[in-house]
Amino acid sequence: MKPNPNQDLRVRRTLESIRRSFEALMNEKDYEQITVKELSERAMINKKTFYTYYDSLDALLNEIQDELSQEFIERTKDYSFLDIDKLTREFFLFSEEKGPFYEKITCNDTIIRNRMIRNVTASNDRGYSKLKQYTEDEINLIRIFSNSATLSIYRQWIQDGKKVPVERVIELTSIMINSGLKTIIHHK
């Protein structure tokens, strides 16, 4: 439950404390290891207070993922899928701005990240409808290629300790994905 500026100050503080505590715990351990009890203690609230605002930890995580997805969608809303250089740059810079918590939920191989991918993929057409020579199922494969390639490179970069400068990673990712998309667009 995102704090509403019109809410009571105590409610806003409680929600912010829950969020900060959750992010801190996620930076310390795997999501599956976090309990509502532990989160509540860290946020200095009781479990009942947590359940006043969220049905579960999954609900809290889903809310955060939806907010992050919407923020990225808004940031990239004017780009088509052919704007790979811009989309790639925005993805890496957005990820860097969000820090370790975002890295953790982006690099986790479980269902955690899939929600964010679905949100961004379903957000808009991004110009894919211009690919008239392809069926909708084929366009879905093209979408997943672009999204998966970028995400895989990002995950590997994080896993390798970000040894390659971010500008170089953006450049390499853009070159590889552009090469693949240009080939598929002009094929058939």
pLDDT of residue 7: 72
Query: 148-175, pLDDT tens digit by residue?
Result: 889 899 999 999 999 999 999 999 999 9
pLDDT at 123: 62
> If you average pLDDT over residues 56-69, what whole number do you get?
92
Tell me what pLDDT residue 131 has: 72
From the list 154, 158, 141, 146, the residue with the least C-alpha distance to 91 is 154
pLDDT, one tens digit per residue, over 43-62 is 999 999 999 999 999 999 99
User: What gap in Å lies between CA 150 and CA 120, rounded to an integer?
Assistant: 13
Domain ranges in the chain are 1-54, 69-185
CATH number of 1-54: 1.10.10.60
pTM: 0.81
Q: Residue 186: its pLDDT value, please?
A: 63
pLDDT in tens, 76-115: 999 887 788 999 999 999 999 999 999 988 887 665 556 6
Of 25, 91, 94, the C-alpha closest to 60 is 25
CA distance 163 to 179: 24
